[in-house]
Structure formats: C-alpha cells, structure tokens
Amino acid sequence: MNVKIKIAEAAAERFVQNDRFTYESVAQKLSTETAVIHQHFATRGSMLSFFYESRIHLYRNQVELLDDYKDFNLGEKLSDFFLFLFDQFAEYNEFVLKTYNKLIINNSDATSFEVLFKKQIQSIFESDKQLSASSLLLLRPVFYNSVYLKFQAFYHFWIQDDSEHQQQTMALIDKWSTFVEELFYTKLIDKGADLAKFLFYNSPLNQFLHK
C-alpha cells in the first residue's frame, strides 16, 4: 500500500508540472523502474484517482498510531477526519484545485474516495457508545451520503477561504462537528419517549381502556 501511495503522490506532482506526464517521469521521480509503476497502476488516470483514495488510507494509518483516539468524542473524531483531509489537500493544493471537481465531485460513478469516506464516517458513528438510542435511527445510507455532501460543501468553502491557514474553514468544521455531536448525544428525545410511555401506562385513561 505504501508503494502505491508514493506513486500516486509522485503522479500528482508530475501532473501539476505536465498533465500529460509519463510513467517514466513518475518512475524517475521515485528513483525506481517503470515496471514498478505498471505493476501497481494500469493507467495514468488510476494513479490520480488513487491519490484521493489514499488520503483515507493515510488517515486510518494515523488513527492506529493515536493511543487516545478511542477516547475522542464524536465531534472530535469528525473534526479530526475532515481537517486531516483538508491538510492533505493543502499539501497538494495545486493538484487538488486542478482535479478534485473532475475526479470526485463531477464523477457520475461512486468513486473509491466516496466509498471509503462513507465507510469511515459509518465507523465513527457506529463505534460511538455515547449516541442516544433515538439518534441510532438516523444511521442509514442516506445519512452517510448527507455527511459526504456536507464535506463537498466544506470543500467549496475551503477553496474560497482566504483567511490565514484557512482558519475560517477550521472554525466552520469545528462548529458543525460540535453541533452534530450535540444532536446525537442528546437524551432529550429518549427521555421524552420514556415519559410518554410512563404516562400512557399509568394514566387513568389507559386503566379505563383496559377494564
């Protein structure tokens, strides 16, 4: 996997220099043989597409190295994931600006980036033990798709963010993550359901109906 990631990153850098880059130029940048590149990627386009998929793999690798990740709350995990991706995008800013719309947003098929993104979001939510019982009803494919679309909205905000180090984007993501956490952690609906049940089974009306 690490070899594929290095190849994809080299291809991204070569693409910025020349969008008709060759396998040989990627191999040269990595000081390896062209056959190695062919072994992992059938086309130049597959290298570029894998660049985005590989950002998810890199995030998962990072999480495995964080001893305290299991102690993160929902908002921290969402914010950490989103900000990691935008940090990666910033590192390859010119490549991302030239390719993200075409390879990700405007792609009519579900990309590997989209699939892995949604799986990561699903993992974040389903592994959280603090979610209220009522909020679990929201965890459906349509919800994970809405989070993916929210990320695309953040991307458009990010590319127009002229604040220092994209601080406004960071603040927006933090506020959204905190809001989602509040929404999924609140026990208000659960308590309301318990109260309704109690009132129903203990009310004079219920006793009358069951006579």
Residue 195 has pLDDT above 80, yes or no: no
The rounded distance, in Å, linking the Cα atoms of 92 and 96 is 6
Q: Are 54 and 92 in contact (CB under 8 A)?
A: no
Evaluate if pTM is beyond 0.95. no
Residue 113's identity, in one-letter code, is F
Q: Are 41 and 7 in contact (CB under 8 A)?
A: yes
pLDDT, tens digit (0-9, with 9 covering 90-100), for 116-173: 999 999 999 999 999 988 888 889 999 999 999 999 999 999 999 999 989 999 999 9
pLDDT, tens digit (0-9, with 9 covering 90-100), for 59-107: 999 999 988 998 999 999 999 999 999 999 999 999 999 999 999 999 8
Residue 188's identity, in one-letter code, is L
Query: Hey, how many other C-beta atoms are within 10 angstroms of the C-beta on 37?
Result: 23
**pLDDT value of position 188:** 54
Q: Are 29 and 112 in contact (CB under 8 A)?
A: no
Q: Are 184 and 131 in contact (CB under 8 A)?
A: yes
At which residue do the structure tokens 């203990």 appear?
202
